[in-house]
Amino acid sequence: MGNIKTAVILAAGMGSRLQDITNDMLPKGLMKINGKSLVERSIEKLRSLGIEKIYIVTGHLNEFYDKLAKENNYIETRKNRKYKATGSMTSLSILEDELKEDFLLLESDLIYEVYGLIKTINYEKDDCILLSGKTNSGDECYVEVRDDNLYKISKNRQDIEHVYGELVGISKISLELYKEMLKEYKDFNNRINDYKNEESFFKTENKKAKKYDYENAIFDAAQKRKVGYLKIENLVWGEIDDKSHLERIKTMILPKLEKNTEEKIN
């Protein structure tokens, strides 16, 4: 098993597309599927693979994750107080003074087979951005690869000339890549400040800047350095952003996960 001891789960989002299910009384990462929440499923997998410390970066309804941390001494929470106006890279940047080694990075709304984590941890390169084959999930993040490096990411299929895979939301981030991501994030914010009085900048860039996500930082960093990636064609996984995703998880993903578990047990 790879020598990764730390994981970060990004869980600051408001989950607005699921509020008719959660009634805004529970963060979507703690929404239970068959009696167990998404984040609890991730934590169990991470712990089984030797992860010793788990940071959960919170925002909306942070008190629920704070309670989870109080019950488990290997979990620490940090709050992105600007979660309503910023993207996930702001959340990740909060840990700048605490992350001193390579780590796993996960989104809170995922359900997946542990095989994906194992392959990501053990990938030969220091960085590993996990990709899957075609999912038809309805909210895909398409990825293009050129010259054996990450090239472009978009949720709009028309933006991608050649789709190589889909972003899963599980990554192994080397300390070197993290530092480069922080630099890209800070550079982007500096550009906002430099051009904040230019109307044209606000029309084209400001909305994107406010929601600058960790994926943007990874792909911006890949313009300056090689970033490792791994595609698992038939990975069983899904994310839950709305009702249709939840139904897909219940009818398609969970049965496959349970079947895989049974096969491993037998």
**Which pLDDT tens digit goes with each residue over 23-36?**
567 898 998 888 89
pLDDT score of 220: 97
Q: Which residues contact 189 (CB under 8 A, 6 or more apart)?
A: 209, 212
Q: What is the Cα–Cα distance from 57 to 262, expressed in whole angstroms?
A: 33
pLDDT score of 203: 53
What is the per-residue DSSP string for 173-210? E-HHHHHHHHHHHHHHHHHHHHHTT-HHHIIIIIHHHH
Q: List the structure tokens of 57.
A: 């970066």
**Which pLDDT tens digit goes with each residue over 192-202?**
776 655 555 55
Domains observed in the chain? 6-265 (3.90.550.10)
**Which pLDDT tens digit goes with each residue over 12-25?**
986 555 556 555 67
Q: What is the pTM of this model?
A: 0.91
pLDDT score of 192: 76
pLDDT score of 37: 93
Check if the beta carbon of residue 106 is closer than 8 Å to that of residue 170.
Answer: yes
